[in-house]
Amino acid sequence: MALYTDGKVAFVSSDTAEARAAREILVARHGDAGIEKASIVVALGGDGLMLETLHRVMDRNIPVYGMNFGSVGFLMNEYSPDALDVRLRAAMPTTIHPLKMRVTDAQGTVSEALALNEVSLFRSSYQAAKIQIRIDGDVRLEELICDGIIAATPAGSTAYNLSAHGPILPITAPLLALTPISPFRPRRWRGAILSNRANISFTTLEAGKRPLSAVADNVEFNEVIEVRVHEDRRHSATLLFDPGHSLDERVLIEQFRY
């Protein structure tokens, strides 16, 4: 699928010396249209930079092609300064949809944020969290005692969700992963796989004694009382991958690592 057609490429990089130097090389060769005028953005860094860039261009129909200068680079391609125009023309798109998080805090303030990877709740004190979980309005878990809980998209299922022993979801699957962080009671509950149409509600129990924070990717809210989460298909972001190294393929490979 040819996406690189007009040469309007913008380059962004992380703050590492290696990524900044790579950006200078590529800008000298290809110019820089600036992110406001670009038809493609090339991100030089790690997965954190990729998520930040995707949030910047979300809903603007501007795909992002990443080259890895981070530690994992699951959302990135390998770095090479050569034949970038050829790689961009051959790159395959993957479109993902974010989760929408709606938070009500202890003061009654309602806030919203989008998450391409996951929405996470964390205990904010030495006390374990107590969380009630509703799915589509029905109480499914009366009381979860834990350090927190994660609601992950397929794209985010290989990130923090995987570290918390959650399931890996195929990138095209219409599913969400619900994964507890260090669950204490119920001791054997290890989470759930939900339809991407599910409406998830988390209610903080004993909020004064056991405060919680809620995070959508990198946006955090404190002293949350209720958090509602659902997939928001009105918003989308597109990643570009070299042929044979798509996000689908990477998710599949990750399931056979040991």
Give the number of residues written for the chain.
258
In a shared domain, residues 224 and 118: yes
What pLDDT digit, counting tens, does each position of 97-150 carry?
999 999 999 999 999 999 999 999 999 999 999 999 999 999 999 999 999 999
pLDDT at 1 > cutoff 60? no
Q: What is the mean predicted confidence (pLDDT) over 3-29?
A: 87
For residue 219, the domain's CATH number is 2.60.200.30
Specify the pTM. Answer: 0.87
For residue 64, the domain's CATH number is 3.40.50.10330
In a shared domain, residues 115 and 214: yes
Taken in order 60, 171, 67, 158, the sign of the CA dihedral is positive
What pLDDT digit, counting tens, does each position of 187-212 carry?
889 999 999 999 999 999 999 999 99
In a shared domain, residues 226 and 106: yes
Q: Which residues contact 165 (CB under 8 A, 6 or more apart)?
A: 179, 190
Domain that holds residue 133: 99-231
Domain annotation covers residue 4 = no
For residues 189-209, one letter each, b for 16 or more C-beta atoms within 10 angstroms of the residue's C-beta and e for the rest, the string is eebbebebebebbbbbbebee
In a shared domain, residues 138 and 73: no
In a shared domain, residues 126 and 159: yes
* Residue 232 among the catalytic residues: no
In angstroms, the CA 78 to CA 157 distance is 21
In a shared domain, residues 150 and 30: no
pLDDT reported for residue 7 = 67
Task: Considering only residues 159 and 176, tell me which one the structure prediction assigns the higher pLDDT.
Answer: 176
Backbone angles phi, psi at 187, to 5 degrees: -65, -35
In a shared domain, residues 109 and 225: yes
* Total tally of structural domains belonging to the chain: 2
Active-site pick, 6, 47, 85, 248 = 47
What pLDDT digit, counting tens, does each position of 51-78 carry?
999 999 998 889 999 999 977 778 899 9
pLDDT reported for residue 2 = 41
Q: Which residues contact 55 (CB under 8 A, 6 or more apart)?
A: 114, 116, 217, 237
